Amino acid sequence: MIGSGYVGLVSGACFADFGHSVVCIDKDVKKIAALEQGQIPIYEPGLDELVAENVKAGRLSFTTEFAGPVGDADVVFIAVGTPSRRGDGHADLSYVYAVAREIAAAVTGFTVVVTKSTVPVGTGDEVERIIRETNPAADVAVVSNPEFLREGAAIADFKKPDRIVVGLEDERAREPMVEVYRPLYLNYSPIVFTSRRSSELIKYAANAFLAMKITFINEVADLCEQVGADVQAVSRGIGLDNRIGSKFLHAGPGYGGSCFPKDTLALVKTAQDHGSPIRLIETTVAINDQRKRAMARKVIQACGGDVRGKLIAVLGLTFKPRTDDMREAPSLAIIQALQDAGARIVAHDPVGMEAAKPLLDERVTYAASPYDAAAGANALVLVTEWDQFRALDLGRLKSAMETPVLVDLRNVYSREDAARHGFSYTSVGRGVDD
Ligand code: NAD
């Protein structure tokens, strides 16, 4: 498993748990040193136990060296990052291609090379070309096997996926891929075998569709605010239709995270390059980009139109609960916009504060609890719906605050509850604001 980040480490640990012998490789020396000492570099529920058990059982190990493990492997997974390329939004494939060259130099005997990273259509062709060019004697079958796990529920998602997608051009890869996923196959998780290009596109189409669904309900929420309707009732009313489905219909501050923003953008670029623009997704990207600063304007409005010199407490920094991942978190843009408007920011997140610090302005201060964050604040803004924030003592919060303004960007509280505790309450898409 090359790349031991959110996807590589979870996949590696789960494959080991299935009984396979797995070596997780990373070029990040510190990460590997930490893993060798039993420290998990990311926050993912259950991952520390899973890694520890499989290391103890001798099925899982870590290294920075390619040659030995890749040479020995039947199947090599590429799980390195594919961030947005600075400047043009295309997926940056330099890490994938660098790994392809390293694999080419290290393989011995027939080896299945599997791209698990999210890569644009046609990348498998290029990985194959690079390997053959670097080592004409290499005997490889290059497969696409995109990953659909969600951070925060990654182990359960990996072990009980809705589907496994395998795109291959060389039939010799089919049996090893079935073997790798056999325990899931036995659990009736469907495996979709398809061509490599279709497989690559499935991942982008899935993420783009989900991003579009979130963006759709966010725009409906805005309309609800104008017409005095309740977006939660609308979501429920449409989500019960099986053709629509109730998931991903929660209005909020816009999608963020390590996947949707970069993957929607990469799909837009791929489609434009092929003369077949997907305008729905172009629009989705534009709407979502604007939404984060619009949420800051919501906060400013809730504070009476001016936040200069005011202290705003932000609850939740990570892009979603149960992860420490700060990539493209809506909190970043919201806090920046509030600071641009002259606000002072105090923040609290159950696990994300360390990861957030290097990304946020140094004037942001951090509190040890929601109640500490509320002390002396002029407004409390709930940005990430951590379970810890679902049953806060509103009375205690109110008495700690300078002015009782609650902006609930995840619709966790009810207007009635907030009002009963004396809060001026603003949420997303639930009728006319205070
Ligand atoms: P990550 O940044 O957490 O991990 C990537 C790892 O690859 C890092 O540890 C990095 O040091 C390592 N790496 C980079 N270049 C390397 C090289 N040449 N040799 C060895 N290691 C190298 O990224 P991630 O979130 O795990 O994402 C990996 C891929 O999986 C991306 O393409 C992403 O789009 C996709 N994906 C991510 C998720 C998710 O929820 N994070 C879900 C599905 C798919």
Q: What is the ipTM of this complex?
A: 0.99
Active site (catalytic) residues: 259
| Pocket test residue of 2, 4, 6, 35 for ligand 1, highest count of atoms within 8 A of CB | 6
Q: Where are the beta strands (DSSP E) in 120-204?
A: 140-144, 164-167, 191-194
Residue 96 CA to ligand 1 center (angstroms) comes to 10
Q: In what order do the strands lie in the sheet with 379-382?
A: 365-366, 344-348, 311-315, 379-382, 405-408, 424-426
Q: What pLDDT sits at residue 186?
A: 79
> Is 286 among the annotated ligand-binding positions?
no
Q: What pLDDT sits at residue 265?
A: 97
Domains along the chain? 6-194 (3.40.50.720), 204-285 (1.10.1040.10), 291-426 (3.40.50.720)
d(C-alpha 349, C-alpha 369), whole Å = 8
Q: Is the minimum distance from the CB of 258 to ligand 1 under 6 angstroms?
A: yes
> Is 267 among the annotated ligand-binding positions?
no
d(C-alpha 96, C-alpha 218), whole Å = 34
d(C-alpha 274, C-alpha 163), whole Å = 28
Q: What pLDDT sits at residue 230?
A: 97
Q: Is the minimum distance from the CB of 28 to ligand 1 under 6 angstroms?
A: yes
Q: What pLDDT sits at residue 432?
A: 63
Per residue of the chain (434 residues), what is the pLDDT tens digit? 999 999 999 999 999 999 999 999 999 999 999 999 999 999 999 999 999 999 999 999 999 999 999 999 999 999 999 999 988 999 999 999 999 999 999 999 999 999 999 999 999 999 999 999 999 999 999 999 999 999 999 999 999 999 999 999 999 999 999 999 999 977 789 999 999 999 999 999 999 999 999 999 999 999 999 999 999 999 999 999 999 999 999 999 999 999 999 999 999 999 999 999 999 999 999 999 999 999 999 999 999 999 999 999 999 999 999 999 999 999 999 999 999 999 999 999 999 999 999 999 999 999 999 999 999 999 999 999 999 999 999 999 999 999 999 999 999 999 999 999 999 999 999 986 54
Residue 397 CA to ligand 1 center (angstroms) comes to 39
Q: Is the minimum distance from the CB of 27 to ligand 1 under 6 angstroms?
A: yes
Q: What pLDDT sits at residue 87?
A: 86
> Is 163 among the annotated ligand-binding positions?
no
Minimum CA distance residue for ligand 1 atom 12: 3
Residue 7 CA to ligand 1 center (angstroms) comes to 6
Type and span of the H or E element at 234: helix 231-239
3-state secondary structure of 153: coil
d(C-alpha 347, C-alpha 364), whole Å = 7
